[in-house]
Structure 1
C-alpha cells in the first residue's frame, strides 16, 4: 500500500471514532406529531385499536371503502370527520392523559378505541429501580455448627 492509502485509512478510522463518541449521547427530541390513517369499511374501522402516546399531537386521516355515509367521532375530544369513498378527511387532537378514547359513528354504529399509553421514557422516570439482592443490615441467619 502506498502512503496515500494509509493516510486515507487513518482518516476514515479516526472519523468513525468521533461518530461513536457523539452518536450514543441520547439527545431527547421534542414530541412530534403522530399520523394515524383510519379506513372505514362495511365491518368497522381499520385498524380496530390504533395506539398513541400521552403528550403527542395526533393527526388523523380518514377515508372509506363504501359509498354508505360514515364518519369518525372521538368522544370528548371535539373531533368529527366525515368519511367518503375516494376522499381523505383530516383532523388533529392533542392527547393529554392515559386511557381509551372511544371512536364511533352514529350512522353506521361502528365502534373502536384509540388506546393512549404512557410514554416509555415517562414510565421509566416514574418507576425507581432498586437492587433486590442488597444485603439487609442486622440480619443474622442461624447455621448449625459442625461437630
Structure 2
C-alpha cells in the first residue's frame, strides 16, 4: 500500500509540473503520444494531438503542429525531424528518417524513407533525410 501512495504522490507532482511547463510555453502536447527519445529544441507553441502516434527519437522545433483532421490523426515513424513552424495534419503516415522543412505542411502520406520535404503543401526536395545527418541527441 505504501508504494501505491508514493507513486500517486509522484504522479500528481510530475503531472502538475507538466501542466505548468505546458502553460508557460503556450504548448499543448498530448500524453503518451511519443515513443522514447523525444527531443524538443524550442518548446514554444507546439501542438500535438493526443491521438497522434509518433515513433522513437523524434525532434521538434517551435511552432510544430501535429493535428487531426476529420477525426483522423497522423502516424509518424522513427527519427523524424520537424523544423520550425512545420505541420502534419490529418490521416497521414510519415515514414522513418524523414525531415520536414521549416513552414512545411504535410497533408499526404510520405512513404519514402530517408527524404527531406518542404513547401506548402510539402514536396520532396532531397533524398537525404535523417540517416546521413541524424537527429542529435543531447
Short-chain TM bin: under 0.3
Rg larger in 1 or in 2?
1
- Between structures 1 and 2, the one with greater strand share: 1
TM-score by length of 1: 0.19
TM-score by length of 2: 0.20
Higher relative CO (Cα under 8 Å, sequence separation at least 6) belongs to: 1
